[in-house]
């Protein structure tokens, strides 16, 4: 895909969203089913079923996906797609690229061992390794726009309002 093809795909959407802001609001959903064996949860990704379980650092067998890994995978995937789209729009050729997302967890927080240890990632790092002829200024712009438009990165950076509730089966 080149910049003109990308623009042709996105221009009608942008116009529609300018005219009707409500049309741009889409609710994304993820669902999981608590596993019948072990401590696990199966999540359908649209392409395959993923079974998430406890990380080995919390007693898991290491044979199931860790939700923390899945978060980092979502970040890497979103950042990679966003970077590709931005590069295409800017006319920057990327011959190949690799996106690395890594984060630090202190499992003392998750296991309730230390009240001062956070539950969740303390730090997340995102890095891009690109094979490109782009100059330093182009790369700076590419990174800046990728950060600006990456949905997962921005959600982590500025968390949305979040609520949780528990509902008994048969009730709503």
Please report, for the domain that includes residue 98, its CATH number: 3.30.300.20
Over range 58-76, report the average pLDDT: 89
**23 part of a folded domain:** no
Query: What confidence score (pLDDT) does residue 40 get?
Result: 66
The answer to whether residues 58 and 74 belong to one domain is no
Query: What confidence score (pLDDT) does residue 38 get?
Result: 62
Per-residue pLDDT band at 163 (split at 50, 70, 90) = very high
The answer to whether residues 100 and 33 belong to one domain is no
Let me know: does 70 contact 52? Beta carbons within 8 Å: yes
Query: What confidence score (pLDDT) does residue 165 get?
Result: 94
Q: Inform me whether the pLDDT recorded for 36 exceeds 70.
A: no
What mean pLDDT value characterizes the chain? 88
Q: Which of 47, 31, 25, 1 is nearest to 160 (CA)?
A: 25
Q: CA-to-CA distance for 109 and 18, rounded, in angstroms? A: 44
Query: What confidence score (pLDDT) does residue 151 get?
Result: 95
DSSP-based three-state secondary structure for 126: strand
Choosing from 20, 41, 65, the residue where a domain stops is 65
Q: Inform me whether the pLDDT recorded for 90 exceeds 90.
A: yes
Candidate from 23-32, 67-76, 122-131 with smallest mean pLDDT: 23-32
Candidate from 2-6, 7-11, 34-38, 159-163 with smallest mean pLDDT: 34-38
Over range 2-11, report the average pLDDT: 88
Query: What confidence score (pLDDT) does residue 32 get?
Result: 65
What pLDDT digit, counting tens, does each position of 99-155 carry? Answer: 999 999 888 898 888 889 889 898 899 999 999 999 999 999 999 999 999 999 999
**1 part of a folded domain:** no
Q: CA-to-CA distance for 141 and 160, rounded, in angstroms? A: 26
The answer to whether residues 153 and 75 belong to one domain is yes
Domain of 136, in residue numbers: 66-159
Q: How many CB atoms neighbour CB 75 within 10 A?
A: 22
Query: What confidence score (pLDDT) does residue 131 get?
Result: 92
């Amino acid at each position: 895909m080149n910049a003109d093809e990308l623009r042709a795909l996105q221009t009608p959407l942008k116009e529609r969203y300018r005219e009707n802001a409500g049309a741009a609001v889409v609710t994304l959903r993820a669902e999981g089913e608590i596993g019948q064996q072990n401590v696990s949860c199966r999540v359908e990704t649209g392409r395959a079923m993923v079974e998430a379980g406890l990380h080995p650092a919390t007693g898991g067998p290491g044979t199931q996906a860790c939700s923390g890994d899945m978060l980092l995978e979502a970040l890497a995937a979103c950042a990679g797609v966003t970077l590709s789209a931005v590069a295409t729009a800017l006319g920057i050729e990327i011959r190949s690229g690799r996106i690395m997302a890594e984060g630090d967890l202190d499992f003392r927080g998750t296991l309730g061992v230390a009240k001062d240890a956070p539950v969740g990632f303390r730090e997340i790092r995102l890095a891009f390794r690109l094979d490109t002829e782009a100059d330093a200024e182009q790369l700076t712009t590419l990174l800046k726009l990728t950060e600006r438009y990456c949905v997962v990165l921005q959600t982590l950076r500025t968390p949305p309002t979040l609520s949780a509730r528990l509902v008994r089966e048969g009730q709503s």
